[in-house]
Amino acid sequence: MLAIESSCDETAAAIVERTAAGALSVRSNVVASQFELHRRYAGVVPEIASRAHLENILPVVHEALATAQLTLREIDAVAVGVRPGLIGSLLVGVSAAKAIAWSLHKPFFGIDHVEAHLWSGVLESECPALPALGLVVSGGHTSMFTLQASSAPTLLGWTIDDALGEAFDKAAFMLGLSHPGGPNLERLARTGNPEAHAFPFANIGTLNFSFSGLKTAMLYAVRGVPAGRGRTSHFTRSHEDLTEQAKADLAASFQRAAVRAILRRLRDAHALHPYKALFVGGGVVANNTLRHELMAFALERSMELRMPQQAYCVDNAAMIGAAAWMRVLRGEPSDPLTIPAQPVSRLATAAS
Ligand code: KG4
Ligand code: ZN
Q: Is the separation of the CB atoms in 283 and 138 below 8 Å?
A: yes
Q: Please say if the pLDDT value at position 111 is more than 70.
A: yes
Query: Residue range 111-135: average pLDDT?
Result: 91
| Residue 228 confidence class, pLDDT cut points 50, 70, 90 | confident
Instruction: Ligand 1, residue 281: give the atom nearest the CA.
Output: 1
Distance 138 CA to ligand 2 centre (A): 6
Lowest-confidence range among 35-44, 60-69, 73-82? 35-44
**108: helix, strand or coil:** strand
In this predicted structure, the answer to whether residue 334 has a pLDDT above a threshold of 70 is yes
Establish if 344 belongs to a structural domain: no
pLDDT (tens digit per residue) in 251-286:
999 999 999 999 999 999 999 999 999 999 999 999
> Residue 328: its pLDDT value, please?
93
pLDDT over 90, % of the chain = 82
The mean predicted confidence, pLDDT, of the chain is 93
pLDDT, one tens digit per residue, over 57-74 is 999 999 999 999 999 999
Q: Does residue 134 line the site of ligand 1, with CB under 6 A?
A: no
User: To the nearest whole percent, how much of the chain has pLDDT over 70?
Assistant: 99
- Residue 227: what residue type? A
The response to whether residue 348 sits with its C-beta less than 6 Å from ligand 1 reads no
In a domain, 342, yes or no: no
Per-residue confidence (pLDDT) for residue 126, from 0 to 100? 76
Q: Which residues contact 211 (CB under 8 A, 6 or more apart)?
A: 142, 159, 161, 162, 163, 164, 166, 167, 202, 258, 261
pLDDT of 186 above 60: yes
Domains contained in the chain, number:
2
Band of the pLDDT at 350, cuts 50, 70, 90? very low
pTM: 0.93
Q: Distance of CA 126 to CAs 13, 19, 24, Å?
A: 22, 9, 7
Determine if ligand 1 sits within 6 Å of the CB of residue 181: yes
Residue 199: pLDDT over 90: yes
Q: Do residues 323 and 115 make contact, with C-beta atoms less than 8 angstroms apart?
A: yes
**Mean of pLDDT values over 149-165:** 94
Per-residue confidence (pLDDT) for residue 22, from 0 to 100:
79
Distance CA 104, CA 212 (A): 47
Distance CA 223, CA 237 (A): 5
Per the DSSP assignment, residues forming a β-bridge with 81 are 111
Looking at the structure, do residues 196 and 299 belong to the same domain, yes or no?
Answer: yes
- Mean pLDDT, residues 186-204 taken together: 94
Longest dimension (CA), the chain: 68
Residue 39 pLDDT grade (very low, low, confident, very high; cuts 50, 70, 90): confident
The whole-angstrom separation of Cα 108 and Cα 90 is: 16
**Paired sense of beta strands 10-18 and 108-112, if any:** unpaired
Q: Which helix (H) or strand (E) holds 55?
A: helix 46-67
- What is the span of the domain harbouring residue 33? 2-124+310-329
- The rounded distance, in Å, linking the Cα atoms of 252 and 171 is 11
Asked whether residue 322 falls in the same domain as residue 287, the answer is no
Query: pLDDT of 3-31, one tens digit each?
Result: 999 999 999 999 999 988 878 999 999 99
165 lines ligand 1 (CB under 6 A): yes
- For residue 130, the 8-state DSSP code is S
- Are residues 170 and 285 part of one domain? yes
Q: Tell me, yes or no, whether 92 lies in a domain.
A: yes
On whether the CB atoms of residues 27 and 317 are closer than 8 A, the answer is no
Tell me: do 58 and 144 sit in the same domain.
no
Same domain, 270 and 300: yes
Question: 175 and 299 share a domain?
Answer: yes
| 8 Å CB contact between 148 and 43 | no
- Ligand 1 in reach of 9 Cβ (< 6 A): no
Pocket test for ligand 1, best of 31, 34, 86, 168 (most atoms within 8 A of CB): 168
- Is the CB of residue 180 below 6 angstroms from any atom belonging to ligand 1? yes
> What pLDDT sits at residue 349?
58
Can you tell me which atom of ligand 1 is nearest the CA of 113? Answer: 6
| pLDDT above 70 (res 147) | yes
The CATH number for 157's domain is 3.30.420.40
pLDDT at 352 over 70: no
- CA-CA distance, 276 to 252, in Å (whole number)? 31
pLDDT value of residue 205: 79
